[in-house]
Amino acid sequence: MDDQATSSFHTDTHAHAHVADNGEPVGANRTLREPVSADGTPELGKRYEVPARNGRAVRLAKGQVIRVVNTHGSQVCDFWAFKADDLSEFMSMEHARAVIDRIIPKAGDPLATNRRRPIMTLVADTSPGVHDTLMAACDAYRYQNLGVTEYHDNCADNMRMALKAIGLRAREVPQPLNLWMNIPVGAGGGVDWLPPVSKAGDHVDLRAEMDCVVVMSACPQDIVPINDNRPVEVHFTVLADA
């Protein structure tokens, strides 16, 4: 390699090392201090809480099932899944919609990654089946646009902090599967932001199709009525199988 090529290589490498990403939270809450365990490994069968306005991350081995419970029936839960050994591969709603040919998954549907292979399968859903795959996770900018002037808990930061609490970091915030979020699409293409239609105790079961890290956020949205303007906790349990 000549001197010019060597100089160019080092310049490109240096520039690449300083490329900004979307992996750092802009605020903080209990999510950073209360992981399910140091590395996110759960006790099978134990009921865990995702407190209102907070997030949690948990590791799933291939074949294990996570049951997420809408404890009060009125809460949206943002749900992500990342490949355990490579967080650049993650459950992707835009890819999942192309695989299942609809905008809301049903029991039996695989949920694809950004590399178009299943990472989770929705194996059971006791709710009416109203979920959302269209809307980005709420973030600090969303609340600024809604007129909030102080820091507001948000799902994007909850995802970042939940991963950080177990020693992980993703470079981006993928669009989540918004469990129980009621965003009907009208005939003219418009959308509404409505409270969930689920009832207390409804749950979904999702099976890991590869070793993965699941992140959940009990959505803090209290300005538009998607959580009935009253964010509350949800619960989850990791099971050995379906």
Q: Answer yes or no: is pLDDT of 32 > 60.
A: yes
Residue 68 CB neighbours (<10 A): 21
Confidence grade of residue 49 (pLDDT, cut at 50, 70, 90): very high
Please work out, in degrees rounded to the nearest 5, the angle formed at the alpha carbon of residue 139 by the alpha carbons of 115 and 96. 25
Q: Answer yes or no: is pLDDT of 3 > 90.
A: no
Nearest CA to 69 among 239, 235, 241, 238? Answer: 235
Q: Residue 156: how many CA atoms within 13 Å on its side-chain side?
A: 22
- Dist CA 114 CA 172 (whole Å): 13
Confidence grade of residue 18 (pLDDT, cut at 50, 70, 90): low
Q: Answer yes or no: is pLDDT of 113 > 90.
A: yes
Report the chain's mean pLDDT, rounded to a whole number.
Answer: 93
Average of per-residue pLDDT across 133-153: 97
Is residue 81 within 8 A of residue 175, CB to CB? The reply is no
Average of per-residue pLDDT across 120-131: 98
- Dist CA 206 CA 3 (whole Å): 54
What confidence score (pLDDT) does residue 31 get? 98
* 3-class DSSP assignment, residue 9: helix
CA quadruple 142, 143, 145, 148: dihedral, nearest 10: -170
Residue 91, beta-bridge partner list: 113
Q: What is the pLDDT of residues 155-206, one digit of tens each?
A: 999 999 999 999 999 999 999 999 999 999 999 999 999 999 999 999 999 9
Q: Answer yes or no: is pLDDT of 139 > 90.
A: yes
- Dist CA 24 CA 32 (whole Å): 12
Is residue 45 within 8 A of residue 193, CB to CB? The reply is no
Q: What is the pLDDT of residues 50-90, one digit of tens each?
A: 999 999 999 999 999 999 999 999 999 999 999 999 999 99
Look at the chain and count its residues: 242
Nearest CA to 73 among 145, 30, 127? Answer: 127
What confidence score (pLDDT) does residue 69 get? 98
List strands edge to edge, sheet with 77-83: 55-60, 212-218, 77-83, 177-179
Confidence grade of residue 15 (pLDDT, cut at 50, 70, 90): very low
Amino acid residing at 8? S
Is residue 63 within 8 A of residue 208, CB to CB? The reply is yes
- Quote the pTM value: 0.91
- What would the two tokens of residue 25 be? 């939270």
Percent of the chain's residues with pLDDT above 70: 92
Strands 47-50 and 202-208 come out as unpaired
Q: Answer yes or no: is pLDDT of 8 > 80.
A: no
Confidence grade of residue 9 (pLDDT, cut at 50, 70, 90): very low
Average of per-residue pLDDT across 101-125: 98
